[in-house]
Amino acid sequence: MKNIVTCQWLNEHLNDPKLVIFDAGMVRPGKLGEYKPQAKLPNAQRFDFKKQLADQDNPLPHTMCSAEQFTQQMQLMGVDKDSLVIIYEDQGLFSAARGWWMFKAMGFDNVKVLSGGLAKWQSLGYLTQIEYSRHYHKGNFVAKPRVGYFIDAAAVFQGIDDEHTVLLDARGYQRYLGEMAEPRAGMRSGHIPNSRALPFVELLDDGEAKPFADIKAAFEAVLGDQADLQTTLQFSCGSGVTACILALFADECGYENLHVYDGSWSEWGGRDELPIETGPCPSR
């Protein structure tokens, strides 16, 4: 896959001077405490999209920061225009794709996700370190934001009745149906009208990507007669994190018009004026 590298590949390229490794892990929804993995990959730095790389003026959780903020932080962490950025997390695939999409949204394409994350790395017996590394070289990276990579509620609302636009919901199917309470207080249950369910967990096998053919088939099944590569795809989830997993896999499948709803259900489910639906996904 073009967006994913294996632990074996990374272990063989650790001495590449252009390599920058980021840990974009997070505490999973419903769990308390701070993200504190016991081990880190060699030379890994913390990619904190909940605080350091978030818009702190936005009441919604970890929304995308400004291009200026992203540029400043990436330069401080030694990212150059020609760097190769690898993003991982402590286990499986949950939040690393968020970091991948943030780089893509800021105009940087030489970024990949580590398959299996830290857990896979350790299972193979590769070296780790206790603390995060610090980078003393100031990078020359400059963000060049791409319009539409992150979208807001207005763009999603406009796409509801657009026959060329499909919104895919990465949450679990019971949440999509409205049969399970949301993990965040004050959220309504259900889904955005005309959206379709594609739970991100259905594209994974033990935390790693399923074979490409299976992923492609899953997209084609949920999109049906709209599985054309020119279809505009919007992605939503609980808070704009796992929606990026769908964006990553859609990119793998060749879809190009991709948009992540940054506020996702944290915004839509909390705004009573926005319409919701409950019940089955039309493709199931």
Quick one: residue 43, left, alpha or beta (phi over 0 = left, psi -120 to 50 = alpha)?
left
Kindly state whether residue 137 falls inside one of the protein's structural domains.
no
Q: Indicate whether 69 and 163 sit together in one domain.
A: no
Q: Indicate whether 75 and 185 sit together in one domain.
A: no
% of the chain with per-residue pLDDT over 70: 100
Q: Indicate whether 181 and 76 sit together in one domain.
A: no
Kindly state whether residue 275 falls inside one of the protein's structural domains.
no
Q: Indicate whether 158 and 243 sit together in one domain.
A: yes
Backbone angles phi, psi at 111, to 5 degrees: -135, 140
Query: What mean pLDDT comes out for the span 20-27?
Result: 97
Q: Indicate whether 180 and 263 sit together in one domain.
A: yes
% of the chain with per-residue pLDDT over 90: 88
For residue 212, what is the domain's CATH number? Answer: 3.40.250.10
The number of distinct structural domains making up the chain is 2
Residues facing residue 54 across a β-bridge = 64
Confidence (pLDDT) at 57: 92
Last residue of a domain, one of 123, 142, 167: 123
Instruction: Encode pLDDT of 177-205 as tens digits.
Output: 999 888 888 889 999 999 999 999 999 99
| Residue 49 CB partners (closer than 8 Å, separation 6+) | 24, 26, 62, 95, 98, 99, 102
Kindly state whether residue 284 falls inside one of the protein's structural domains.
no
Catalytic residue status for 237: yes
Q: Indicate whether 118 and 154 sit together in one domain.
A: no
Confidence (pLDDT) at 181: 86
Instruction: Encode pLDDT of 232-280 as tens digits.
Output: 999 999 999 999 999 999 999 999 999 999 999 999 999 999 999 999 9
Q: Indicate whether 12 and 117 sit together in one domain.
A: yes
Q: Indicate whether 67 and 114 sit together in one domain.
A: yes
Confidence (pLDDT) at 32: 80
pLDDT over 80 (residue 284): no
Residues facing residue 19 across a β-bridge = 84
Instruction: Encode pLDDT of 208-220 as tens digits.
Output: 999 999 999 999 9
At 41, is the secondary structure helix, strand, or coil? coil
Q: Indicate whether 96 and 28 sit together in one domain.
A: yes
DSSP 198: -
Kindly state whether residue 43 falls inside one of the protein's structural domains.
yes
Would you place residue 135 in the very low, low, confident or very high pLDDT band (cuts 50, 70, 90)? Answer: confident
Kindly state whether residue 103 falls inside one of the protein's structural domains.
yes
Kindly state whether residue 248 falls inside one of the protein's structural domains.
yes
Quick one: residue 270, left, alpha or beta (phi over 0 = left, psi -120 to 50 = alpha)?
alpha
Q: Indicate whether 45 and 97 sit together in one domain.
A: yes
Q: Pick the closest to residue 100 from 109, 120, 132 (CA basis).
A: 109
Instruction: Encode pLDDT of 84-102 as tens digits.
Output: 999 999 989 999 999 999 9
Last residue of a domain, one of 107, 123, 139: 123
- Note down the domain range covering 20: 4-123
Q: Indicate whether 168 and 226 sit together in one domain.
A: yes
Confidence (pLDDT) at 182: 87
Kindly state whether residue 141 falls inside one of the protein's structural domains.
no
Instruction: Encode pLDDT of 106-123 as tens digits.
Output: 999 999 999 999 999 999
Selecting among 7, 65, 237, 244, the annotated active-site residue is: 237
Q: Which residues of 264-284 are buried (b: 16+ CB within 10 A; e: fewer)?
A: bbbbbbbeeeeebeeeebeee
What is the C-alpha separation between 190 and 238, in angstroms, rounded?
11
Q: Indicate whether 119 and 160 sit together in one domain.
A: no
Kindly state whether residue 277 falls inside one of the protein's structural domains.
no
